Amino acid sequence: MAMTPKSAFDAQEQHPQYEERIILFLDFLGFKALVDRTVSEDGFLKRLLVAMDLVGELGADNKSIFKSQVVTQFSDNVVVSYRVTERSAVFWLLNEIALLVINLANRGFLVRGGVTSGLLHHSDRHGVGPAMNEAYRLESKVAKHPRVIFDPRVLEIARRARNPDHTPREEEQFARSFLTEDSDGHLFFDYVSWERVVAVTGIDNEDYGGYLSRLGPLVREGLRNDDPCVQEKYLWLRRLYVSAIKTVKGLDTKDGYRKANAAMCEEIAALPTYKIDTKLARAAVKKWRAASAAKTKPVAKPKSKAKKTNA
């Protein structure tokens, strides 16, 4: 007798095994503060729930393509994984992450995450294994800022489990096109620059100016936060935001792109960069770091005086 989906699932859970899988661990930045806003701000609960639904739908369009895909969500956390043998799974996961992160940022929500690979048992009920631990570590301890960072090992998986029409080098290049090396050496998806948002991810060019203009108030709000730990995260985001503005402002007036998009380029060039808020935030972060360093500095033990002995 053929096994029903439920009985097949039960059999899998009764004899669990680890598999080599690609895994994403993702959650909202500052979720407690977001929940607080659902109480104090009319309509914000609906906005937050819509954003959470978007996160929970990550990879939904790929279910019929990637049979090993598993997605689990709890509150603001989502875990997505694939077997490492799924062809082009790395590319499509990167594409899904890029679209999601941009969509959420456009709505005023930031996320943080980690992508890696390794041994994992992942079902509708359970997610456990060394790969889960590493993905969580990347998200919670390494990413720090509102960014999704990527273990370089996933690029090697892209080379191995590639589209049959691509060479290993081509598949890696397609996957790598989504990634930028940050100042600390970690690979991440830059959801602010024109190059990644429009040229790579495919967001409409005419929407880019409006997108940056909506990121601005998000940056300002974070810089004005009372918590220096939060301010530090938004100083990071402000760096990307200002860089994107400078890229457009730096285009020559005779540049083809600038001539074809004159109005939008003027709109972007006029966006505020929050210099005063940045200066105050940097001072607060510097003071906070100094205080933290002083607390963790080991206290030197007093030297004991040698006792004199009678000869």
How far is it, in rounded angstroms, from Cα 143 to Cα 146? 7
Average pLDDT over residues 17-25: 96
Query: Residue 311 pLDDT more than 50?
Result: no
Query: Residue 309 pLDDT more than 60?
Result: no
Task: Show the beta-strand stretches assigned E in 55-191.
Answer: 70-74, 77-83, 111-122, 127-128, 148-150, 179-181, 187-189
pLDDT, position 58: 87
- Write down the architecture of domain 18-191 according to CATH: 2-Layer Sandwich (3.30)
Domain ranges of the chain: 18-191, 205-293
* Tokens (6 digits) for 87: 């062809």
Q: How many other β-carbons are positioned within 10 Å of the β-carbon of residue 113?
A: 29
Please tell me which residue, 225 or 125, carries the higher pLDDT value.
Answer: 225
Residue 16 CA to its chain's centroid (Å): 30
Backbone phi and psi for residue 23, each to the nearest 5 degrees, phi listed first: -135, 140
Query: Residue 289 pLDDT more than 90?
Result: yes
How far is it, in rounded angstroms, from Cα 120 to Cα 19? 5
pLDDT, position 8: 46
pLDDT band at 59 (very low <50, low <70, confident <90, very high): confident
pLDDT, position 43: 96
pLDDT tens-digit series, residues 132-182: 999 999 999 999 999 999 999 999 999 999 999 999 999 999 999 999 999
pTM to 2 decimal places: 0.88
